[in-house]
Every structure is written in structure tokens, then in C-alpha cells.
Amino acid sequence: MSGTVTPPVMASISSDFKYRNFGLSFMFMMYAGSVMRDVFMPMITYPQNYISGANLNRDMNNYWQSPEDSNNPDVFPAIYRNASSNTTYLWAAADRHILNSGYVKLRNVTFSYTLPEKMLKSMSMEDLTLSLQVENPLIIGFNGKGLNPESWSGSSLNPSRGTLTTPTFSLGLNIRF
């Protein structure tokens, strides 16, 4: 399996709706056609680095148990103590660790309310709008592992899960006199 880490397909859609004094706007982004590397489990080749009783990846339960398992790419090789770095890198470079890095993300959504004109005149104002904006509230990744490609450095044999982009909430008040 191969591909590019730079998405060849990028698209966005945004819209702005108004109904009476209420407003709703949003923007979705989509990236597709690219790949990334998953974090491989070094405990397969360096189990001595993990403390007994520590939490391990649940995929550790799915390892080679019979000769036929070696033909199944979804089954991990048996744990190999003190493996050389070459063995570790061969496992890290396996096609099994290449994932689809496409995703759709709701980049932002804004809800707003504008006070009625009658009420504004009584307060000697031209406009008063309250808004709630949320940045990055939703991401739907196509990799099947819930990994966010925006915070992922999965282009090398030592990928990092990075730091997730957390949603940001903002309240706004726009007043014109």
C-alpha cells in the first residue's frame, strides 16, 4: 500500500442561514486521498521496555498462534524479545500500519440572535447581536481508529499521536450605536 501524505483532494462548504432574528453559519472541510502511518506497537519487538501489569494495546491479544497466522496481515507477529532495530523497522514499515488520513471536519459553527428593531430604538441602538461560536466541534476520520490527521505526524516510521485540537467556544456581543 502506498500513497501521499499530502491530500490531493480538498474541499469545503459553508453556508449562512437567517430566519427572523436568528442566524446560523457553518463551514465543513474535507480532505481525501492521502495516507498516514499508524503508531506501531514497540512492545512487539521490545517487550522488556514495558512494566508487567501495565496497560497494553488490545491488539496484543491478536498475535501469531499457528503457522497459518503468518499469512494474515491483521495478525501481529509473536512477541520477539530483544529484536534488532532492523526487525523493529521492518515491522514499523509494514503496510498494515498505513491508514487512510482522509477526514471531514466541522471547522466552525456560529449561532446568533439580533434584537428586534423596535427594542433597539428604545435603547438608542442601531444593532445588538449576541453570538455563540464553536471552532472544531466535530471531526469524522476515515482511518477507523479515531485519529485526527491534523494533529498527527504519521509520515515517518516514528509517528506521533500529537495533540488533539480541542473545541473552542466563544461568546460575542456586537453593539452599534
Domain end among 66, 93, 120: 93
Among 14, 62, 5, 13, smallest CA distance to 32 is for: 5
DSSP H or E stretch at residue 162 = none
φ, ψ (nearest 5 deg) of residue 90: -60, -45
More confident residue, 5 or 50: 5
**What is residue 129's three-state secondary structure?**
strand
Q: How many CA atoms lie within 13 A of 74 on its CB side?
A: 0
Judge if 26 and 56 occupy the same domain. no
Judge if 117 and 142 occupy the same domain. yes
| Total domains in the fold of the chain | 2
Instruction: Give the bridge partners for 176, in sequence order.
Output: 127
Is the pLDDT at 66 greater than 90, yes or no?
no
Judge if 86 and 108 occupy the same domain. no
More confident residue, 8 or 96: 8
Between strands 98-100 and 103-114, the pairing is unpaired
Is the pLDDT at 166 greater than 80, yes or no?
yes
Alpha helices in 79-137 (DSSP H): 85-92, 117-122
Judge if 58 and 31 occupy the same domain. no
> What's the burial of 6, exposed, middle or buried (CB within 10 Å: 0-12/13-18/19+)?
exposed
Model confidence pLDDT, tens digit, residues 110-158: 999 999 999 988 888 999 999 999 999 998 888 887 777 887 766 666 6
Q: What is the pTM of this model?
A: 0.72
User: Which residue range is the domain that position 56 belongs to?
Assistant: 41-93
**Do residues 58 and 43 make contact, with C-beta atoms less than 8 angstroms apart?**
no
